[in-house]
Structure formats: C-alpha cells, structure tokens
Amino acid sequence: MNPNISRALRWILTAAIIAFLVIFARTIDWTAAWHSIRTASLPLLAAAVALNFISIAIKGVRWWLFLKPAGSPSLPLAIRATIAGAGLNNVLVANGGDAARVVFVSRATGVPSSTVFATLALERMFDPVGFMILLVYGVMAFSLPPSLEKWRHPAEVALIVVLGLLVWFVYASRNAKPETLVASQEPSSGLWGKFKSFFVRFAASAKVLATGPRFIGALVISMIAWVLQIYTFQLAAEAAHVSIPAAGNLAALLAVNLGLLIRATPGNVGFFQFVFALSTEPFGVSRNDAIAVSLLIQTIQILPITLIGIALAPEFIFKRRAKTPETLQDFS
C-alpha cells in the first residue's frame, strides 16, 4: 500500500476513534466519577500500587533467569533495568524502554548487546503466552462477555501452537553448547559484517539459553505477574468503593490488554476507560463507577512506575561501560 494512503488511513482511524471517545465521554457523569476518585481509600490504593510494582519487579526476575547464564549474574541489576524500562515505555514511543534496558544491561556488564537482546526476546515472549493461558482459563472457568468468549477457540489454537513451538525450540536446542556463543563473538568489520554478526550472536544466544527449566520458570513467573495484575484491578475497585466480581476484574484485564493492541491515544487514555467500562458493564458496574476505577488503575500503573523509571535511568546512562567478559558463565 502507498505510504501516503496508509498514513492517511491511520489518521482517519485515529480521528474516528477519538470522536467516538468524545461521544462516549458525554454519557459519563464526571461529577460522580470524580467523587469516587476523591473519596477512594488511600490504604487500598497504596496496596494496589505495591502489587503493581511487584508484578513488574518479578518480570525482572524472569529476565534474570536468562541474563544470569548469559554473563549478567546480578538480580538487582535485572530488576532495576526492568523497572527503568517499564517507566520509560510510558514516555517513549514504540516500547523504547525495552531497547533502553538492553543498552543499560550491556553497558553495566559488558555483555554484547546482541546477547542481552536475545535474553530480552526470550523473556518477553512469555507475556503473550501467559495472557493466552489466562484467556483460555477465564472463558472456561467464568461466564465472560461475548466479546471475550469469541476469542476462546482462537486462543486455544494459538496456545497449543505456541506451546508446541516452545517445546520444539527447547528440543532443537538441547545440543547447543556455550562454545557456540563464544565462537560467534569474533569481531567483524564493515557495516554489513557487524549487522550479520549481531544476528549470528543473537541466534546463538537464544539457542544456548533455551532450556526446559528456564522456560518453565519463566512461565510460572509470568502467571504470577498476571494474577497480581488481577488483584491490582480488584484493589483499585475496592478503593473506589465499587463492587466488581472476580470474573469482572478478569474480563476487564483481558479486554484492556486486547485493546492495547490499538494505541489510539497517548497512553491509551480514554480508550482504556472505554474498554474497561464496556467489559465491566455486564457485571452490573455503572459507567460512572467504571470510569472512576479505570482512571485509578491507569494512575497506579503509569505514574509511580514512570517516576521511578525516569529516576533510575541516569544510573545506567552515566555508568561507565564495563569490559566485555572474556568468558561466559556455565550455561547449565
């Protein structure tokens, strides 16, 4: 498709979504919504902030499962870089925070960026896998809105395919040796040579790091992170004195994460509220209450992590680059 036509279509779609959100906003009693926010329970909000923070921090533990054998053994470094990246993702375009944490860890440890990037790619793929497991479980265990029920069979098929690919990946990598990765780190000259060398090291790193125990550990941590997000939603609702059943919180979490595939507005402000209200309405939650809760959730998820992430970023940016390790740790 012509780039100009594609750009024009994106602008038209964005304008249509924003117009729709404006119409939706006119149906909200903002005075009532603001009252729910203003009278929210501070202890419950603090608990929700803590749970959200923990859910992100344990993703640093998940990353560390792959970083440690790659030559970056520091768990605190992995957690700090993960939090910094999550905060920067809220202010940078195209998930720039993830690219930043590759640079952060590479500078701090001297591990080649291609190897760090491979560990990040392995770690991040467990977020959608965990989401699919949660979606399949949700539609089987609860009565969810039709908009989510229709995703049951596609999610089941996708989950079977993805889990099969993960098993095949581990099986195909069973004979990979650390020497393969060390050998792939020979210096290259020229732009094309460096480009090719980067992806050779990336592929070798991913192959060596892909083991069954690491994949199982990463999957368990992913499910814990998703469950903590459900409880974050629940605590935010309780803080606003809004009663939402467990199925409603699960439906809201699933719906907003499906909705985040379309970033129609900065931070998806407005679109998040619309999807949240739509997914909780079948559970008896009024639009005014849903808006109040969704605004609290976005504040909990964005503001503290962004502030902490920006505060941590200078630690990595101004850190002197470590020397590249001559040998890598045991990959067993």
Q: Let me know if residue 210 belongs to a domain.
A: yes
For residue 200, pLDDT beyond 80: no
For residue 225, pLDDT beyond 90: yes
Alpha-carbon distance values, 298 to 168, 210, 269, 302 (Å): 38, 35, 8, 6
Alpha-carbon distance values, 173 to 3, 68, 102, 204, 248 (Å): 40, 18, 23, 10, 41
Q: What is the structure's pLDDT at 324?
A: 57
Q: Let me know if residue 121 belongs to a domain.
A: yes
Report for 16-25, 107-116, 128-137: range of highest mean pLDDT: 128-137
Q: Which residue has the tokens 């009663």?
A: 243
> 304 and 53 in contact (C-beta within 8 Å)?
yes
DSSP code string of 100-161: HHHHHHHHHH---HHHHHHHHHHHHTHHHHHHHHHHHHHHHHS---HHHHTTHHHHHHHHHH
Residues in CB range of 2: below 8 A, 6 or more apart: none
Spacing of C-alpha 137 from chain mean position: 20
The total domain count for the chain is: 1
- Which band of pLDDT confidence, cut at 50, 70 and 90, is reported for residue 327? very low
Sort 224 into a burial class: Cβ within 10 Å, 0-12 / 13-18 / 19+: middle
- Which band of pLDDT confidence, cut at 50, 70 and 90, is reported for residue 183? very low
Q: What's the pTM value of the predicted model, to 2 decimals? A: 0.77
Q: What is the structure's pLDDT at 190?
A: 55
Q: Let me know if residue 332 belongs to a domain.
A: no
User: Phi, psi at residue 284, to the nearest 5°?
Assistant: 80, 15
Taking the C-alpha atoms of residue 226 and residue 169, their distance in angstroms, rounded to an integer, is: 24
Q: Let me know if residue 276 belongs to a domain.
A: yes
For residue 125, pLDDT beyond 50: yes
**325 vs 39, which has greater pLDDT?**
39
For residue 116, pLDDT beyond 80: yes
Q: What residue type is 129 in one-letter code?
A: V
Q: Let me know if residue 324 belongs to a domain.
A: no
Q: What is the pLDDT of residues 43-68, one digit of tens each?
A: 999 999 999 999 999 999 999 999 99
Q: Let me know if residue 177 belongs to a domain.
A: yes
Q: Which domain holds residue 109?
A: 3-317
> 162 and 126 in contact (C-beta within 8 Å)?
no
Q: What is the structure's pLDDT at 280?
A: 93
Q: Let me know if residue 322 belongs to a domain.
A: no
CA angle (301 as vertex; 297, 302 as ends), nearest 5: 115
Q: Let me know if residue 107 belongs to a domain.
A: yes
